[in-house]
Amino acid sequence: MCTIPPAPPLPPRPPPVLSDNHSPTELTKIDSQNPSYDYSGLCEWASEQPCLWEVCIKYNLCLKSAPYRYKFNNCNSILQVGPTCGLAALSMLVKGKVTADKILNIAKLEGYSNNGEMFSCINMAKLAEKVFSLADFNNVKCYIRNGGLVSKEIIDKMLEGAVLLVPYDADCNHSPCLKNGHTAHWGIICGIIIIKDAGEFYDSCQNNIYVISRHGKSRFLAAWSLADLAKSNKNLWEFSPKRGDDGLKYILPEGGIGGKEGLRNQFLVIEGL
């Protein structure tokens, strides 16, 4: 299990000549070698939304021109305590009106969790409904989607304002990775950026689409490839053996996290926030 690294500062100033055709990873490597340039004129399209502007600068997304399409719904950061990433995410979605501690108490009473772990999308959806009701978010619609994270339907829903709650494997920097479910983590997908017009079926050009995420292990937004997130979500096969040896008792669904009642290839769609 990776420890939470210190909160990073705003990224180094980008170099004078950048191309939006480069990947964020490639540009980040270049940035670290060019600390002497200012941010003037970069990401002007996002300047009215400081959080969005900052994450796009940090990950070098659409620095010189506006994306083809985008949508961003900010929510304030709430850091998790222990394995409560899903509960912290729910508290963020209701603007802290229901605390993560109170959500943990509900999850324990309902038999969904012992320590804050949520290894079932079905139970997470049930818990979310209770939390939205307690917060008086009466017009919110929450439902489970099996597969199709990279699909025109889901992309269109995000462009219309829907927020996703997605389980995935988190690397040491909390970005999506493929660890067979051993580092399962919950992230809020609160924004989407389609960099260029790829025609009618823009959803087929996966490296052209990035999502903005917030989660309980960082105060800062992150930007990830939607395709990478989908691959990670599909790779949640098994509960980590290391967690099984940590002395805590976890509640696992029938069939494990890779089963129909678990996490693999499933996520929550939330509309009306």
Per-residue pLDDT of 194-248, as tens digits, reads: 999 877 777 677 789 999 999 999 999 999 999 999 999 999 999 998 876 777 8
pLDDT score at 73: 94
Determine the Cα–Cα distance for residues 40 and 81; give it in Å rounded to an integer. 38
Domain regions of the chain by residue span:
85-271
Report the CATH fold assignment for 85-271: Cathepsin B; Chain A (3.90.70)
Q: Which pLDDT score is estimated for 188?
A: 98
Average pLDDT, integer, range 159-184? 96
The better pLDDT of the pair 200, 56 is held by 56
Tell me the C-alpha distance between 45 and 58, whole Å. Answer: 15
Q: What is the reported pTM?
A: 0.84
Q: Which residue has the higher pLDDT, 19 or 56?
A: 56
Q: What share of the chain in percent tops pLDDT 90?
A: 76
> What secondary structure, in 3-state letters, does 188-247 show?
EEEEEEECCCCCCCHHHCHHHEEEEEEECCCCCCEEEEHHHHHHHHCCCCCCCHHHHCCC
pLDDT given for residue 37 in this prediction: 54
Task: Give the burial class of 249: count Cβ atoms within 10 A of its Cβ; 0-12 exposed, 13-18 middle, 19 or more buried.
Answer: exposed
Per-residue pLDDT, 84:
95
**Residues with active-site annotation:** 85
Neighbours of 21 (CB within 10 A): 8
pLDDT interval class at 25 (50, 70, 90): very low
